[in-house]
Amino acid sequence: MRAKAVFASATLSMAAFVSSASAQSAPTVNLYVGYTAGGGYDVYGRMVGRFMSRHLPGSPTILIQNMPGAGSLRLANWLYSVAPKDGNTFGIVARGVAFDTLLGLPGTNYDATKFTWLGSAANEVSVCVAWHTSKIKTVDQIFSEEWIVGGTGGSADTDQYPKLINGVLGTKMKLVVGYPGGNDVNLAMERGEVQGRCGWSWSSVKSTTPDWIRDKKVNVLMQLSLNKHPDLPNVPLVLDLAKTPLQKGIFQLVFARQVLGRPFLAPPGIPPERAAILRKAFMDTMQDKEFLAETERAKLEITPVSGEEVQKLVADAYAMPPEVIKKTAELLKD
């Protein structure tokens, strides 16, 4: 049976059942996206929701809803404390959600190590881009000239990365916060409200604004990850700008989240057998030929990471040297 995905707003509630091939009914599965419609997380969430049903027992309807707020912290907190723990609810959140409690960020009312991590659809490289009309053309300029960038709040890369890089390297990014999602930051660039965006997944740049690359509407200044993207061999990597072991350790801790490029998670404490089913269905979706063909057409990068790998990466992050964690937390404070 082909997967069925229903797209709706966060306020929509629905109780629906679909018959399985064995004539047994399967309850609706709810997939929440921690951002507004149209951005990178939303695109990945809807694509996964569209195909994952066929890999779940009974091929249930997957109801996709948006629950934006605080860089997806609203959804993370809701999944942790409020969402049903029956294994029929999961979500996609900012990659930083896994590390925010470790770094003491406000508004993180959860223990990231206790979430049921289902996997990540992409091992990401993020970038800093400057709008073409901005005077900023190279990364060297942001060490001496103010550069205004837009952020989506809370746990979002668009907020955390500029603060971190300013604190570690002494760059002069000025952050304008409060945009509901990445699409809104893009509109702000076009309107001239901000001059760029720092902490934008390269896969999203390619899938949501391919014309910007083609028409040179943005200049890619810097890559934010542990390794360079093959598309961008001549764009500087942030780790290469680190001068001391502490600076490098901070960047390694923070940019480890890029491995969790598009993380999907369920509430803590769901039945183990249901967790196993969701994890398997997620990874089976990542290998689904029709899914891969569709993501290729949509220019979405799929470099999956299993739920078990994500769970270990999160646990390893919480075991980092205390001095690195402390300094990183200080830099990310408001």
Please spell the DSSP secondary structure of 60-107, one letter per residue: --EEEEE---GGGHHHHHHHHHTS-SSSSEEEE--TTHHHHTTTT-TT
CB 121 within 8 A of CB 147: no
Q: What is the pLDDT of residue 105?
A: 86
- What CA–CA distance (Å, rounded) separates 42 from 55? 21
Q: What is the pLDDT of residue 73?
A: 96
Q: Are strands 196-201 and 62-66 parallel, antiparallel or unpaired?
A: unpaired
The segments of the chain whose pLDDT lies below 50 read: 1-24
What residue ranges of the chain are covered by domains with CATH 3.40.190.150? Answer: 5-123+260-322
Q: What is the pLDDT of residue 36?
A: 93
Q: Phi and psi of 6, rounded to 5°?
A: -115, 125
- What CA–CA distance (Å, rounded) separates 144 from 198? 17
Q: Phi and psi of 254, rounded to 5°?
A: -70, -40
**Residues in a beta bridge with 31:** 64, 90
Cβ-based neighbours of 46, under 8 Å, separated by 6 or more: 5, 7, 33, 64
Residue 324 CA neighbour count, 13 Å, CB half = 16
Residue with tokens 């195909």: 51
CB 98 within 8 A of CB 314: yes
Q: What is the pLDDT of residue 156?
A: 82
Q: What is the pLDDT of residue 334?
A: 61
Q: What is the pLDDT of residue 138?
A: 97
Amino acid found at 277: I
What residue ranges of the chain are covered by domains with CATH 3.40.190.10? Answer: 126-256
In words, the CATH class of domain 5-123+260-322 is: alpha beta
Element (H, E) at 32: strand 29-33
CATH annotation of 126-256: 3.40.190.10
Amino acid found at 60: P
Q: What is the pLDDT of residue 186?
A: 96
Q: What is the pLDDT of residue 271?
A: 98
- What CA–CA distance (Å, rounded) separates 268 from 265? 9
Q: Of 46, 16, 14, 51, give the one whose Cα is nearest residue 31.
A: 46
Q: What is the pLDDT of residue 75?
A: 98
